């Protein structure tokens, strides 16, 4: 399994990659939605993306919409991992096609539970 971590903060990307490694999950990284979309389209199979909302170039919500507009990517799980905490933000992300939502700050255990709920780990 391979998961793409999308966040403009290198520190947050490194933290999430570390958590995934602890769970024996391979990962790739992108610093914004446009870079992430290129990786999704060109770098082979990815089972899921962890998507920050607030990023330059292409934000996370626009990334989710772009992925969901591609039928060939319908099976990819998308989880928003963001500091956007309002009910409206959660509802907007889910309506756009995100499969789940995890609010920052987070722990490895929180991420693990969400990945389990998405059926990505046992």
State mean pLDDT over 34-58.
94
Q: Are 80 and 93 in contact (CB under 8 A)?
A: yes
121 found inside a domain = no
120 found inside a domain = no
Q: Half-sphere exposure of 59 toward its Cβ, with a 13 Å CA cutoff? A: 7
Q: Does residue 90 have a pLDDT over 80?
A: yes
Residue 32 pLDDT: 97
45 found inside a domain = yes
State mean pLDDT over 78-94.
93
- What is the residue range of 62's domain? 2-114
* pTM of structure: 0.95
CATH of the domain at 29: 3.40.50.2300
Domains identified in the chain, total number: 1
Q: Are 117 and 79 in contact (CB under 8 A)?
A: no
């Amino acid at each position: 399994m391979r998961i793409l971590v999308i966040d403009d903060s290198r520190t947050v990307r490194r933290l999430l990659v570390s958590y995934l490694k602890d769970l024996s999950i391979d990962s790739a990284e992108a610093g914004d939605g446009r870079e992430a979309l290129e990786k999704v389209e060109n770098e082979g199979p990815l089972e899921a993306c962890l998507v920050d909302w607030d990023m330059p170039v292409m934000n996370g919500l626009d990334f989710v919409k772009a992925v969901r507009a591609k039928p060939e990517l319908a099976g990819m799980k998308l989880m928003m991992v963001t500091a956007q905490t309002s009910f409206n933000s959660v509802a907007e992300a889910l309506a756009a096609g995100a499969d789940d939502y995890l609010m920052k700050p987070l722990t490895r255990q929180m991420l693990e539970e969400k990945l389990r709920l998405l059926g990505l780990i046992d």
